[in-house]
Structure formats: structure tokens, C-alpha cells
Amino acid sequence: MLTAYDYSTAKLMDSCGIDALLVGDSLGMVMLGYDSTLPVTMDDMIHHAKAVARGSERALVVADMPFMSYQVSVAEAVANAGRLLKETGVGAVKLEGGAEVCPQIEAITRASVPVMGHLGLTPQSIHTLGGYKVQGKDRDRARRLVEDARAVERAGAFAAVLECVPAGLAALITRLLQIPTIGIGAGADCDGQVLVYQDMLGLYPGKKPRFVKRYADAGAVMERAFRSYIEETESGLFPTAEHAFTIDEEILNELKTHYEPESRS
Ligand code: KIV
């Protein structure tokens, strides 16, 4: 699984054979420039999810439920999950949390909307977690993570993302659950993996998180191309005749005679 936020990237990933595309609320940071995912709205998610769904022919597309679209009440959660499915064409929604969001997961799945869970580092809770750090390292928190994962499965989630969880704990949770786990910073023993594509392509400024592998430096490739374009347009090297369209000479001469009679004399 990879994140995707627009039509052309989704189409490219889909044609490469990706199993699932996540329209993550990480779009708040990597596409919209916020410093967290908290400001992302339902309208933002719907806008981007529509584009990704249009670009995907075979991959499962999952859209994140943004902050405060499911926390306030179960009824609101069902209505917002329904909007995401109905208005965008995605196949499932994802929401963050453990036992505390199980009533929402139950009600949303009962309404025939497939739900993916998200446990461990849940970025929408950044202010209560106290920062972007590995979760479940001490005995109590590790046990709670296991119990939360089991609760999310019992509530009806069809899969669960495990973010920034120690590899051994993620492996244990993966063995204990019947549903697939999808890891990000959770080691190799999860059933699947997900990355934010800007991270794996070097397109997002700042320090690379330890769990990210950089598969290409697309940022550097794009930077070179942008610089060449600026230089060539300024120096006249671009565009050349091969990038231009022609018009019948006779028509052009008629127009010149009409509009620029002084330059003819
Ligand atoms: O929003 C997102 O991109 C995510 C992934 C980090 C799993 O939730």
C-alpha cells in the first residue's frame, strides 16, 4: 500500500500493481502544507479521494476519516463514512484509535462501509501522545496496544495499520489477529506495508523518518528539471519550432497587411 492524493499518481501506482492506495489525511502536511493532520476537513478528503478513485482501476482505495469527523458521535461517524464512500468511489475508510472508537467501527461496518483501523502512533492524537514517537514500548502500553488491536478486530475492521510500533510487538499483534496488519515503522512481520509516497521519493522537506526507505530522489530530479526550464525559457532555448504550431503563410500575410500596414511600407 502507498498513499496517493491525485489522479496521475494514483494511475501510475495502480498500473505498477500496487494492491491498495491510501488517501491519507497526511495530505494535510504533504499536499497542503499544514504542520499536522488536524486541520484536514471532510471536503479536503472528498476532493482528493475522488481524484484517486478516478485514477485507480484495480487497487483498493481507502480514504482517511479526518480529525473530528468520527469522534463527536457514532451517528456523525456513520454519516461521514457514508459520504466518503458515496461521493468519492473509494472502497473503504480508515480511522484512528483503539477501544474508544469501536462503537464507531461497529456502526460504520453495520452500515456496509468497510473500515480499516489505525493503531500505535495515531497522528490525529499528536497532542495527547506528546509527539511523533514509537508507541507501546513499556509493559502497560504494549498490553493496551494488543487489547486495542483485538477490540478493533472484534468491532469489525477488515485490516489495521500499525504505525511506529516496535517490530516484535507488531509481529505478536499480527499473529494474534485474523485480519491483516499493515505496518509503517512496525517491522517486517506485518502482513503488508504502507509508506507516504513523498517520503519514499524524497519529495517532502525535512528529516527522513528512520522507518522510511528512500527509493528515489525524485525531489532532486524535479529540481534539476525546474532549473533547466527557467534557464532555457530565459535564454530562448525553449520553446523551439518543434514545440510550436504553424499557420498558413497566406492567411498570416493577410492578417499582417491588415493589422500592421505601416510595417509593410
Ligand atoms: O495519513 C496517512 O498517510 C496515514 C499513513 C501514515 C498510514 O495514515
Q: Report the distance separating Cα 257 and Cα 265, nearest Å.
A: 10
Name the packing angle between helices 7-16 and 42-55 (round to 10°).
40
Q: Looking at ligand 1, which residue's alpha carbon is closest to its atom 3? A: 24
Q: H/E/C letters for each residue in 179-221? A: CCEEEECCCCCCCEECECHHHHCCCCCCCCCCCCCCCCCHHHH
Q: Report the distance separating Cα 151 and Cα 153, nearest Å.
A: 5
Q: Are residues 144 and 234 in the same domain?
A: no
Per-residue pLDDT band for 9 (boundaries 50, 70, 90) equals: very high
Q: Are residues 141 and 61 in the same domain?
A: yes
* pLDDT above 70 as % of the chain: 99
Q: Is 196 in the pocket of ligand 1 (CB under 6 A)?
A: yes
Query: Which pLDDT score is estimated for 105?
Result: 98
Amino acid at 260: E
Q: Are residues 231 and 104 in the same domain?
A: no
Query: Which pLDDT score is estimated for 110?
Result: 98
Q: Are residues 197 and 254 in the same domain?
A: no
Statement: residue 143 has pLDDT above 60: yes
Q: Are residues 18 and 111 in the same domain?
A: yes
Q: Are residues 75 and 177 in the same domain?
A: yes
Burial of 111 (C-beta count, 10 Å sphere; 0-12/13-18/19+): middle
In angstroms, the Cα distances linking 135 to 84, 106, 126 are: 29, 25, 12
Active-site residue, 106 included: no
Q: Are residues 159 and 183 in the same domain?
A: yes
Q: Is the peptide bond before 123 cis (omega within 30 degrees of 0)?
A: no
Do the beta carbons of residue 69 and residue 115 sit within 8 Å? Answer: no
Tell me: the pLDDT tens digits for 164-220? 999 999 999 999 999 999 999 999 999 999 999 999 999 998 889 999 999 999 999
Query: Which pLDDT score is estimated for 263?
Result: 74
Q: Are residues 14 and 65 in the same domain?
A: yes
Statement: residue 264 has pLDDT above 70: no
Domain of residue 242, residue span: 221-264
Statement: residue 265 has pLDDT above 60: no
Q: Is 61 in the pocket of ligand 1 (CB under 6 A)?
A: no
Tell me: the pLDDT tens digits for 37-79? 999 999 999 999 999 999 999 999 999 999 999 999 999 999 9
Question: Which atom of ligand 1 is nearest to 3's Cα?
Answer: 3
Q: Which of 183, 200, 216 is the last residue of a domain?
A: 216
Q: Are residues 209 and 103 in the same domain?
A: yes
Average pLDDT, rounded, for the chain: 97
Instruction: Determine if residue 164 is left, alpha or beta; phi over 0 gives left, psi from -120 to 50 gives alpha, anything else beta.
Output: left
- The DSSP 8-state label assigned to residue 65 in this structure reads P
Q: Which three cell numbers stand for residue 90?
A: 473509494
Q: Are residues 124 and 186 in the same domain?
A: yes
- Number of domain units in the chain: 2
Of 147, 163, 254, 260, the active-site residue reads 163
Q: Looking at ligand 1, which residue's alpha carbon is closest to its atom 2? A: 24
| Closest C-alpha among 104, 49, 47, 51 to residue 79 | 104
Q: Are residues 90 and 172 in the same domain?
A: yes
Q: Are residues 101 and 117 in the same domain?
A: yes
Which CATH number is 87's domain given? 3.20.20.60
Query: Which pLDDT score is estimated for 29?
Result: 96
A 10 A CB-CB count for 215 gives: 12
Query: Which pLDDT score is estimated for 207?
Result: 86
Tell me which of 36, 65, 70, 184 to substitute to probe ligand 1's pocket, judged by most ligand atoms within 8 Å of the beta carbon.
184
b or e along 125-147 (b: 16 or more beta carbons within 10 Å of the residue's beta carbon)?
ebeeeeeeebbbeeeeebebbbe
The angle at the Cα of 153, spanning 138 to 2, to the nearest 5 degrees, equals: 85
Q: Looking at ligand 1, which residue's alpha carbon is closest to its atom 5? A: 24
